[in-house]
Structure 1
């Protein structure tokens, strides 16, 4: 298979497996790219390891959001539907006019989304962990792959679980994360004061003073997802006021240091929200992560909360403990990629009703 054919297949799969049913515009544009050699040539400039459809479409969205008056921009407002017959000419013309800017973006930037909505899935996991530990000791969260650090501000958001609204002591009433509970009864009650000294680890932290960098985060959301854009902009405003601590560099270079410098009287929890594959590669990234944390647990007990697909069609959340080189993990929930819904599987402490590990 030629490189063109491989890239065309990537765009076709993006259209059918990711955009279909969620973004009619991106589904149409992705199919258009897949059948247009000139556009595939442009997309080929995406940095190695980055998803070309997200990068190319994100770059187009970014340029349009910054003021492009091209006729294609009309369809990014969500008011009109773009048919495939017209998409080819419009998209090709837009990319020709902005080829230099598109190449600059996709060859230097990365898909560095910071999905705030996932905090609605993480909050029940934090509550479950607090119940599981049950000793009153303080808990430190380490968000690995923190991007702009928005998930470290999980205690600043307001949560709505199917009409059941949760406001934490520092919640911003205007930044509301909505999550539908599809099954199970997740724990939602927790003592926020027990969570202290959160820190993020990120290879390339987003510079919150760089307007283009923060706008790029917004541009990576899909045009129809206006609620996500609004929530992200609200969260960026909050994080700019009180920036969290983020360690810049490779996760492998910081994990051991964080384990060492965290006081032994604190529980240490590593959170991976769709970031494992970026750090440990795919496939087999989860196994390499377990080996790493098991090794570090020779020094002290560690806890882990990871969200991802892990070889399954439906994303899931895993809670794990690593102690003395021994690791134990449970899948405690299925969830939406953006945190829009949660199906809680565990009843307490990350176990199924009959005590078995949930596959």
Structure 2
């Protein structure tokens, strides 16, 4: 197949498999790109390794959110439904007028969605881990693939689990994260004072004090997901007041130093929230991660919380311990990719090192 044939197929798969149920607008526009050579020419400038449909449509969204006047804007605000036979012409005209700006965005930026609602899935894992680590020692969280670091501020948000409101000492009342509970109730009781000095690792950290950088995060949110966009804006406002600590670089750049420099009297927890494939590739990324953490654990015990599909249709959360080169893990929950529901599977926290 030619490059354009492959690219067109990528946009068709995106429309049918990802956007169809979540964003009818993006499904329509992605199908339009797939059958329009001029739009495929533009999409071909996407930065290597980045998903072209997400990047091109986010770039269009980004330009429109800057106040550009065009008939396409009405469809991005939900005022009208865009018909397939009208989408290609509108999108082509818009991209023709703003080709330079769009090309600059897709050739230099990356998809760095920072889904703050995933904290609803992480919080029960932190609660379970605290119960497991019952010695009272401080717990340090390292978010690998942190983007803007919003997950590092998990203790600043308000939580709602099927109407059960969970407010932490520093909760922001405007940033409310919602999660439906399937099956058993997840653990939610925890002492946030035990969690100290969180840090993120990110190749290109998003500066939460830079409006242009945070605007790109908002533009990556699909237009119909207005509640998700509102929550993201609230979380970004929290982050701007108390910016998280993020180390610029890869996991390979920083993990060994973090393991060596974290005091021995602190438990060290590494969090990978849909980021393993970005670091270790796919398939087989989880196995390569385990090998890496097992080797690092020869210096000190490590704990891991990982969320992803892991070759399964339904995402799952894994909690693992790595100690003296030996790794043990358990699937503790199934969940939604946006953290909108959780099915807690673990009966009780596994004892440390088992």
Aligned-partner Cα distance in 2 for 1:335–1:78: 28
Q: Secondary structure at the match of 1:135?
A: coil
Unaligned stretches of 5+ residues in structure 2: none
What is the match of residue 39 of structure 1? 39
What is the match of residue 189 of structure 2? 189
Aligned-partner Cα distance in 2 for 1:332–1:252: 27
Conservation of the 8 A alpha-carbon contact between 1:155 and 1:192 = yes
Moved more, 103-112 or 180-189: 180-189
Deviation at 1:114, TM superposition (A): 0.7
Aligned-partner Cα distance in 2 for 1:349–1:30: 44
Answering whether residue 257 of structure 2 is matched by residue 264 of structure 1, we say no
Conservation of the 8 A alpha-carbon contact between 1:319 and 1:350 = no
Query: How much is the aligned-residue C-alpha RMSD, in angstroms?
Result: 1.2
Aligned-partner Cα distance in 2 for 1:203–1:338: 22
| Matched ranges for 1:1-359 at <5 A | 1-349=1-349
Aligned-partner Cα distance in 1 for 2:195–2:210: 29
**Deviations 1:272-317 (Å, cap 9, x if unpaired)?**
1111111111111111111110000001110000111111111111
Aligned-partner Cα distance in 2 for 1:143–1:265: 20
Alignment coverage as a number of residue pairs = 352
Moved more, 57-66 or 11-20: 11-20
**Stretches of 4+ aligned residues off by more than 2 angstroms:** none
Q: Secondary structure at the match of 1:78?
A: coil
Aligned-partner Cα distance in 1 for 2:262–2:273: 21
**How high is the TM-score relative to the length of structure 1?**
0.96
Q: Secondary structure at the match of 2:200?
A: strand
**Deviations 1:127-168 (Å, cap 9, x if unpaired)?**
111111222111000000111111100000000001000000
Aligned-partner Cα distance in 1 for 2:350–2:311: 20
Q: Secondary structure at the match of 1:71?
A: coil
Deviation at 1:13, TM superposition (A): 1.3
Conservation of the 8 A alpha-carbon contact between 1:39 and 1:92 = yes
Aligned-partner Cα distance in 1 for 2:225–2:318: 27
Unaligned stretches of 5+ residues in structure 1: 352-356
Conservation of the 8 A alpha-carbon contact between 1:144 and 1:200 = yes
Q: Secondary structure at the match of 1:22?
A: coil
Aligned-partner Cα distance in 1 for 2:34–2:291: 39
Conservation of the 8 A alpha-carbon contact between 1:331 and 1:350 = no
